[in-house]
Amino acid sequence: MSQARNPYEIHDYPSRRPTGVGPWTLAFALFGGTIAWTVHLIAGYSVANYMCGDAVAVWILHGLTVVALTVVALAFLTALRVVRHATRLPKGERTPEEDRDQFLASGGLLLAGLGFMAITFGEVAVVVAGCTP
């Protein structure tokens, strides 16, 4: 029976150098925008449904939007930084982990963009429809 090769030799992982991007950074780059949108949706819906009539309600809604958009922006910037970092070398010289980071962070860019749009649509509704009982 032949001696099997070590899968780590024939396999690309783990590779020569660490990527320098931590798991939490990566997670935030990927999902930060989505989480901001989710919170904005649920909180905004609850406030609009149960609190409109109170004069502060509309300000709470604006505040929510500001906070949510800030988080989205941070997620976007983080993702951008990760992509830049992962693609600093030409294609042939990147490690598989760098490819992975690039993939996940580009996904984060898309998700943050979508979060931005959904939150902005919600805010437009607040401005147009107002929050009166």
Partner 1 sequence: MTASTHGQPVSERLSSLWERPRVIDHIFATVDHKRLGVRYMVTAFVFFLVGGTLAGMMRTQLAVPENQFLGPESYNRIFTMHGTTMIFYFATPMLTGIATYILPLMLGTRDLAFPRLNAFAYWVFLFSGLFIYTSFLVDEVPDGGWFAYVPLTGPNYSQGLGMDFWTLAILFLGISTTAAAINFVVTILRMRAPGMAVQRMPLFLWGVLDMAFTILIALPSLTLATLLLALDRTFGTHFYDPAGGGNPLLWQHLFWIWGHPEVYILLLPSLGIISTVVTAHARREVVMYPLVAVASVAIGILAFGLWVHHMFSTGLDLLPISFFSAASFTIAIPSGISIFAWVTTIYGGRVRFSPAFMFALGFIVTFVIGGVSGVMVAMVPFDWQVHDSYFVVAHFHYVLVGGVVFPVFAGLYHWFPKITGRMTVPTLGHGAFWLIFLGFNITFFPQHILGLLGMPRRVYTYAEGLGWDTYNAISTAGYVVLGLGIIVMVFDFLWSMQRGEEAGDDPWEADSLEWATPSPPEPYNFAHLPIVHSRTPMWLDRTPERGGQLDRIEDPMDDGREVVTTSVLDAAPDAVLRVPEPSYVPLFAALALTVAVVAMLVEVYPVSVAGIVGLGALLAVWLWRSPAPAPERVNQIRDRVHLPDVRIAGPHSLGRWGMIFFIVTEAVLFGSLISSYFLVRGSADEWPLGGIAEPELILPAILTALIVLSSASMFWAQRQVEGSADRNPPLGMLRLALVVSLALGIAFLSLQAYEFHRSEFGPSTNAYGSLFFMITGTHAAHMGVGVLLIGWTLLRTWFVSHEPGQRSDVPNVALYWHFVGVVWLVILSVVYLGVRGL
- The nearest distance, CB 22 to partner 1, in angstroms, is 13
Does the bond joining 133 to the residue before it have cis omega, within 30 degrees of 0?
A: no
Q: Are the CB atoms for 30 and 111 separated by under 8 Å?
A: yes
Instruction: Give the residue, chosen from 8, 24, 92, 93, that forms a contact with partner 1 under the rule CB under 8 A.
Output: 8
Tally Cβ neighbours within 10 Å of residue 1: 3
- Asked if residue 111 binds partner 1 (CB under 8 A), the reply is yes
- The nearest distance, CB 5 to partner 1, in angstroms, is 6
In the stretch 20-59, what mask flags binding to partner 1 with x, by CB under 8 A? Answer: --------------x--xx--x--xx--xxx-x-------
Phi-psi region of 20 (alpha: psi -120 to 50; beta: other; left: phi over 0): left
Tell me the sheet residues that pair with 54: 52
Return the DSSP state at 92. Answer: G
Residues that bind partner 1 (CB under 8 A): 1-8, 10-14, 34, 37-38, 41, 44-45, 48-50, 52, 96-97, 99-100, 102-104, 106-107, 110-111, 114, 117-119, 121-122, 125-126, 129-131
